[in-house]
C-alpha cells in the first residue's frame, strides 16, 4: 500500500489527575502525523499504565495545536 499522506505539524499537551496531583505530558512538536485508520501507532505513543485507572475510568484533557507551516 502507498504511504499515508502527512496532514501537518502539531504539538500536544496531555494532563490527567492522579491522587490529587496532575500528571502532564507535553510535546513542542509531534514527530509526524499521518492520516491513517485502524492501525496501531508504532512510534511516539503515550501509554497510560493500568494502575493509574481508578474505577476503570481515567479523565484526560488533551490539547492538540496545529503549528504554523513554514
Q: Give the tens place of pLDDT for each residue, 6-65.
A: 667 788 888 988 888 898 988 887 766 666 666 666 666 666 677 766 667 778 888 888
Beta pairing, strands 21-27 & 61-66: unpaired
What strands lie across the sheet with 10-18, from one edge to the other? 21-27, 10-18, 61-66
Task: Label residue 44 left, alpha or beta by phi (over 0 means left) and psi (-120 to 50 means alpha).
Answer: left
* pLDDT for 25: 85
* pLDDT for 52: 65
pTM (predicted TM-score)? 0.54
* pLDDT for 31: 64
Spacing of C-alpha 31 from chain mean position: 11
* Close Cβ partners of 26 (under 8 Å, ≥ 6 residues apart): 11, 12, 13, 14
Amino acid at each position: 500500500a502507498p504511504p499515508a499522506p502527512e496532514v501537518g505539524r502539531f504539538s500536544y499537551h496531555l494532563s490527567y489527575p492522579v491522587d490529587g496531583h496532575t500528571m502532564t505530558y507535553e510535546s513542542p512538536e509531534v514527530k509526524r502525523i499521518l492520516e491513517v485508520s485502524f492501525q496501531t501507532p508504532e512510534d511516539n505513543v503515550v501509554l497510560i499504565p493500568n494502575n493509574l485507572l481508578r474505577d476503570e475510568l481515567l479523565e484526560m484533557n488533551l490539547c492538540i495545536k496545529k503549528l504554523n507551516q513554514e
